[in-house]
Chain A
Amino acid sequence: MTAILTIAGYGLREALRRKVFVVVCFLSVAFLGLYWLGVRYAFHHVANVEPPDGVDSRTFAGAFLFGMAMFGTLFLGVVLAIFLTLGTVRGDAERALLQPLVVRPIGRTTLLVARFLGAAAVCVPYVLILYFAGMLLTGLEGSWWPDRIATPGLELAGGVVIVAALSLLGSVFLSSIANGIAIFMIFGAGLVAGLLGNIGHVLNSPGLIHAAKIAAWAIPFEALYQDALRSITEKTSGLTGFLLRLGPFGGAEQGGIGLRLWAVAYIVLVGALAAAGFARRDL
């Protein structure tokens, strides 16, 4: 346990010194500032809009805007997770930073676990802070609150933790730049899968919907994001509910307990693959 805490602390201090947090904080403040402006203007205009029959304009605007904020939160969380983990093994080995640590009697798996926990310990609070800040801005400006308060935030955080695990796995085999590109492309693939689902719903194409579902579960951060989107309007029905299911940047889709269990198993599986790869790697 001491070794895990030492390595996790080392990783965090390194990120701090590399000014990763400064950049992320700056981006987060800019994001929240812009979001607040957007929400303020949107709700100001919503009051003057005559919505179609069956659509609750305040609920629609609130859920749609907050859905976008959730995407922004997921994106920033993913950026942070990737920057914290992209060079953990091969990147640090190429920079000759890893070898002095690996020869210590801590074990390679311990090192990986510590770096993963260090990244998760930063990303989870970060995502939750951003999520609740977005919710607060939406609620205070538009008097709209999601149907579920905590679960969607935890699912977003879970999605970011999955990306951190994938990035850690990638770092065993790829150089820092290649790994960063690969993980961002996987993230993009998840996004495309969500959009495919949207299109499938609009066209009522079971094939597209099925393909999107498979892709979302293959990279379950996307499925968690969809489930989180679904949770914020869980009790919303009618035309408003239908429109919101299409969601911004990927459709809302119920995942349920099965998805959450799969997400945990997925992280364990990815971690086991990373540990096995690292154990066989010459440094």
Chain B
Amino acid sequence: MPAALAVSGLVKRYGAIEALGGVDLEVRESELVGLLGPNGAGKSTLVKIACGLVRPTTGRAEVCGARSGSREARAALGYLAELFRFPGWMTADELLELHQRLAGSRGGEKERGDLLELVGLQEARRRPVEAMSKGMQQRLGIAQALVGSPRLLLLDEPTSALDPVGRRTVRTLLEELQRRGVSVLLNSHLLSEIELVCDRVVILLGGRVVSAGTPAELAKPRGVEIETDGGRRTYPDAGRDDIPRLIAELVHGGQSVYGARLLTSTLEEVYVEAVGGETS
């Protein structure tokens, strides 16, 4: 089975500006990949190429084996843009119905009801978009992206307008989608969110992939922390194999040991290191 999204040697130039400088990336079936990078790193351009809104200068992007932008590729994906707007006069139900027709979905009223329930908007079914808060509109945007049960979901900053509860709803939703076999490329600035839900992380900088792997692979050892009756002691140069010896020495020295854990870098630390402190 082809990858949900396969990108190779992708280059995009806007005149003299190079937005992407040869990106290789793959999102496998049922995989949730987080896309990180400072503003202007090329994340949105990459997502837009994947869904056919932007044409690459060179390179190739395929969605479920079909060239990005082709009818087959667009039929296989759902997309939520970073900046999006729906007609204010449309109700949530009307909007989803419109997208059902365009996506060729035969889910009917049941699909619309299920999607609105999935994003916690079942009570707002008849409410016009203009009467919804930004957070509600963002959740409606996610529901819209899920119309027609896409195999690949491209989410560009889907939680930027959400409060903590809304973010948690989206997180739960992403986990549920993963269980259903949907592949997701999640572009977000919220590192904690990506760390919590993503199988793999790709960090872009200046249009190039500077780091990629699972959160565990990216994390670097930062030593060992041992909790004793004298407080917490940190051994920055120690590794997993050193823990028994360190505990034995402490016990031998008359101290009580309550716990020990390996210290690793957080995704935030990995990210800052990868982008060299660049913000835009």
A103 touches B71 (CB 8 A): no
A103 touches B74 (CB 8 A): yes
Summed over the interface, the residue pairs from A and B with CB atoms below 8 Å come to a total of 62
Q: How far is the CA of A190 from the CA of B74 in the complex (A)?
A: 42
Within 8 A of B (CB), among A70-106: 95-97, 99-106
Contacts of A283 in B (CB 8 A): 48, 53-54
B81 touches A280 (CB 8 A): no
B85 at the interface (CB under 8 A from A): yes
Contacts of B53 in A (CB 8 A): 99, 102-103, 282-283
Residue of B nearest to A13 (CB): B89
Residue of B nearest to A282 (CB): B54
Q: For this complex, into which size category does the number of interface residues on chain A fall? A: 20 to 34
Question: Chain A's nearest CB lies how many Å from the CB of B68?
Answer: 10
Binds A, one of B101-109, B111-119, B187-195: B101-109
A100 touches B84 (CB 8 A): yes
Produce 1/0 per residue, A248-283, CB < 8 A to B: 000000000000000000000000000000001011
B89 touches A105 (CB 8 A): no
A17 touches B86 (CB 8 A): no
Q: How far is the CA of A95 from the CA of B89 in the complex (A)?
A: 15
Produce 1/0 per residue, A1-23, CB < 8 A to B: 01100110010011001000000
A51 at the interface (CB under 8 A from B): no
Question: Chain A's nearest CB lies how many Å from the CB of B66?
Answer: 10
B271 at the interface (CB under 8 A from A): no
Residue of A nearest to B53 (CB): A283
A38 at the interface (CB under 8 A from B): no
User: A100-B79, A103-B74, A103-B77 given as contacts; is B101 within 8 A of A6 (CB)?
Assistant: yes
B52 at the interface (CB under 8 A from A): yes
Contacts of A102 in B (CB 8 A): 52-53
B87 touches A106 (CB 8 A): no
A125 at the interface (CB under 8 A from B): no
B102 touches A104 (CB 8 A): yes
Contacts of B71 in A (CB 8 A): 105, 107
Contacts of B48 in A (CB 8 A): 282-283
Q: How far is the CA of A104 from the CA of B100 in the complex (A)?
A: 10
Residue of B nearest to A101 (CB): B102
Question: Chain B's nearest CB lies how many Å from the CB of A99?
Answer: 5
Q: For this complex, into which size category does the number of interface residues on chain B fall? A: 20 to 34
B98 at the interface (CB under 8 A from A): yes
Question: Chain B's nearest CB lies how many Å from the CB of A93?
Answer: 9
Contacts of A107 in B (CB 8 A): 71
Q: Among A3, A13, A97, A280, which residue has its beta carbon within 8 angstroms of that of B101? A: A3
Within 8 A of B (CB), among A101-138: 101-107
Produce 1/0 per residue, A195-239, CB < 8 A to B: 000000000000000000000000000000000000000000000
Q: Among B83, B86, B87, B101, which residue has its beta carbon within 8 angstroms of that of A2? A: B101
Question: Chain B's nearest CB lies how many Å from the CB of A31?
Answer: 28
Question: Chain B's nearest CB lies how many Å from the CB of A9?
Answer: 9
B75 at the interface (CB under 8 A from A): yes
Q: How far is the CA of A219 from the CA of B52 in the complex (A)?
A: 34
Within 8 A of B (CB), among A17-74: 17
Q: In this complex, which of A3, A100, A103, A107 has the most chain B Cβ atoms within 10 angstroms of its Cβ?
A: A103
Contacts of A99 in B (CB 8 A): 53, 79, 81, 84
Residue of A nearest to B145 (CB): A100
B55 at the interface (CB under 8 A from A): yes
Contacts of A103 in B (CB 8 A): 51-53, 74, 77, 79
Question: Chain B's nearest CB lies how many Å from the CB of A91?
Answer: 12
User: A99-B81, A100-B144 given as contacts; is B98 within 8 A of A282 (CB)?
Assistant: no
Q: Ordered nearest first, which 3 A-B pairs have the shortest CB separation?
A: A104-B102, A17-B89, A105-B75
Interface residues, chain A, with chain B CB atoms under 8 Å away: 2-3, 6-7, 10, 13-14, 17, 95-97, 99-107, 280, 282-283
